[in-house]
Amino acid sequence: MTRRSISKRVAVVTAAALVAVGTFAAGGAVAGPEKSAKKPTTKQAAALFDEWNAALKTQDPQKVADLYWDDAVLLPTLSNQVRADRESRVDYFEHFLANKPVGKKIETHINVLDSNSVLDAGLYEFALTDHDTGEKSVAKARYTYKWEKRDGEWKIVNHHSSLMPEG
């Protein structure tokens, strides 16, 4: 091997090492502050649903929609239409709120993923009052919420809710 080829190899290895170190350092800088942020407790995560349920009680579809990030996806309980923008979520909640829903969790499983994301899945039911007839009913459903904290604020990024298949 010539002195020149050895120098080239050393230069290539050195450059590769610098790229690797730079990538690691940049990744550490990005991940560092997030890892140091405190994860919410399960109780704090459960309170996010309480906030959502309280928004239902206002009967204001705009207030409920405010709890979803702009890029959120809602697969709603009483509609087959995917709601992937604010306008369609407001439309859904206008119809849903007409039945004066009151939600109650039956079973919940909360998984705090990190300081900025929480999964909440389980079973809930809604006491409903038909806006035309006044007839009362209960919709039993399963749910999954994915909450994300962005710029210090918690909102829903994904919400799936469907009626129980066995009724």
Beta bridge partners of 158: 73, 146
Least confident of 20-34, 72-86, 114-128: 20-34
Mean of the per-residue pLDDT values for the chain?
Answer: 85
How sure is the predictor about 166, in pLDDT bands with cuts at 50, 70 and 90? confident
Statement: residue 17 has pLDDT above 90: no
How much is the pLDDT for 102? Answer: 92
Statement: residue 115 has pLDDT above 70: yes
How much is the pLDDT for 4? Answer: 52
What is the 3 state secondary structure string of 30-92?
HHHHHHHCCCCCHHHHHHHHHHHHHHHHCCCHHHHHCCEEEEEEEECCCCCCCECCHHHHHHH
How much is the pLDDT for 37? Answer: 80
CB count within 10 Å of CB 45 equals 22
Give the CA distances from residue 134 to residues 100, 104, 131, in Å, rounded to whole numbers and listed in that order: 10, 20, 6
- Express each pLDDT in 118-134 by its tens digit: 999 999 999 999 989 99
How much is the average pLDDT of 68-96? 97
How much is the pLDDT for 18? Answer: 40
SS3 (DSSP) at 167: coil
- Express each pLDDT in 44-57 by its tens digit: 999 999 999 999 99
